[in-house]
Chains A and B, each alone.
Chain A
Amino acid sequence: MNKIGKYEFNSSVQADDMIAALGTSTDEDGNTYPSHNHCIVKLGYIVLEQGEYNEEGEEVKAPVLSEKYHLDVLWKGLEPIDAEAEVLSYIEPKGWADNRIDIDGNGVHSFMGLDYQEYKF
């Protein structure tokens, strides 16, 4: 089962640690790559209020950014918590639910063709 989760962390370091804990592999040349197949989108410190720039792209007024670091995750192939349950429910890997947030609509980001409200936990 595929599910979408939206998360906020205190820093990019905390988010990267959570992502790394999902697992990595190393190829013959020493390059590391995820050993999971979940689709993780680093939205970062999202813009709450747009900045202003002149025609040369120089910043006139700085944007207002979220104090939290944001990730959107399309979890793929999650197993139900209880496969015998009448209504199946799902949960992310350990620790992620603590940082999950819920929003109305899709927010500033969505996965192509997937409605967050339909796919959320």
Chain B
Amino acid sequence: MGKGIVKLGEGQWAVKDGNLLAAKETNGRFKNAEFTVTRGTDATYVGKDGLIFNETGNDTPRIDFTDNTDGHLLLEPESRNLVPYSNEISLSTGSTVSGTGSSTAVTDNYAISPDGTQNAARLVATSATGTGKYALRDFILSTSSVKSYTQSTYLKSNTGSDQKVSYYGRDTGVRGFITVTSEWQRFELSGNSNTTNYYVYLGARPEDGTDTSCDILVYGYQLEQLGYATSLIPTNGSQVTRDAETCTGAGSSADFNSEEGVLYAEIAALADDNTYRILSLSDETRNERVYMQYTNASNTVSVVVKYDGETQANMVYVLSDATNFSKVAIKYKANDFALWVNGVERDTDTIGNTPTTLNKLQFNEGDSSGNEFYGKVKAIRVYKETDGIDLATLTSL
């Protein structure tokens, strides 16, 4: 088969409309291996300079730099922002106050936001003190059944000092306060509606430990019917849906060795949501595959080898937190399989065959759709051999 590596990422990203480029390295020469990326709508991402950008090309992959300088491929499911004005808070929220002198005031388009333009709103809330006294902005969504929601918003202090602010929703746990600093931060909370509504409140409620008044900047008000927050979906007068992404079909049978090799990835889950999210090498069916996945068990990764539709190896490891980046590798060779995670060999299997054909690397269960890998990907490597690959070093954090 000859030596060779298919590489993706590792701080080197090349994207265009509809394509994500991986590199095939053979004897020091590089060629492209193209993933096909689809997404029917725009989407946002955090650029290298820390600003939020709107990716206006449908189907263009997103390389997101949130919390890292190398960037990661961001693949997200469909989601909808249920707040019709994500920045014009005066239009999307109402004032809910209790107590003499309690008040709220909103000034839209007041300050520079995380997208670099002047579209952050200013919220000033002043509350009377005592039990049941507050000054809040409310967003209330009518519902007809109990559903799970996640609210998120970017907040920043407008005074130069830290402020203790009330931010809660229906069934989001014991009310308390969040600390809003002089840096933009995104705050997230998850809760459940009842059979009539879900609500979000933001402002001052001193009985919960907040300051009696707050002066803060607000941007990117978002409410999603998901268990976690996804990238910002800007709205301006209606609810807005961002389409799901798919990333399929890189490589050919010449690029991969079905008899032996290593599939390695540095990945993080969007959430510990107990769903299957699969990164696969396959013959474009589910019968011949080498794949790694987050499983339907909490914080669990597994690697699996299939031959003729039968499982040959299935090795499992429980992570401390699947939303942190992990380096995962599977070594596959007849009667010689191993799972490496974060520098340590976690499991082995010494009985089993390898697939007959592997010709596609894709972010799903292997037959082009189903159990899509929604998550973050910093790097992928596929080796065509097992000898001489230092898996301890490769997978060390």
Whether B335 is near chain A, meaning CB under 8 Å from some CB there, is no
Contacts of B246 in A (CB 8 A): 37
For window 17-39 of A, CB contacts with B under 8 Å fall at 25, 27-29, 31, 33, 35, 37, 39
Asked if B142 is at the interface of the complex by the 8 Å CB criterion, the answer is yes
Q: Is the CB of A2 within 8 A of B140?
A: no
Task: Give residues in B with beta carbon < 8 Å to A.
Answer: 38, 40-43, 54, 56, 58, 78, 80, 84, 96, 98, 134, 136, 138, 140, 142, 144, 170, 194, 196-197, 199, 233-234, 237-244, 246, 276, 286, 296, 365, 369-371
16 A–B pairs (Cβ distance < 8 Å), ordered by A: A27-B365, A37-B369, A39-B41, A39-B78, A53-B196, A55-B134, A57-B199, A72-B241, A74-B40, A108-B84, A111-B41, A111-B241, A111-B243, A112-B234, A112-B240, A114-B42
Query: Contacting B239 at CB < 8 Å: which of A62, A63, A108?
Result: A108
Q: Mark A46-67, 1 if CB is under 8 A from B, else 0.
A: 0100110101010100110100
Do the beta carbons of B142 and A63 come within 8 Å of each other?
Answer: yes
Q: How many Å lie between the Cα of A34 and that of B239 in the bound state?
A: 23
In Å, the complex CA distance between A59 and B276 comes to 38
Chain B interface SS verdict (over half): loop
Q: Are B238 and A109 in contact (CB under 8 A)?
A: yes
A2 interface neighbour in B58, B134, B286, B371, Cβ under 8 Å: B58
**Complex formed: what's the CA distance from A70 to B59 in Å?**
27
- From B80, B134, B196, B370, A41 is in contact (CB under 8 Å) with B80
Interface size class of A (residues with CB under 8 A): 35 or more
On whether A57 and B239 interact (CB within 8 A), knowing A51-B142, A63-B142, the answer reads no
Q: Are B197 and A53 in contact (CB under 8 A)?
A: yes
CB-CB under 8 A from B241, the residues of chain A are 39, 41, 72, 74, 109-112
State which residues 96-121 of A face B: CB under 8 Å.
Answer: 106-114
Residues of A contacting B56 with CB < 8 Å?
113
How many Å from the CB of B192 to the closest CB on chain A? Answer: 12
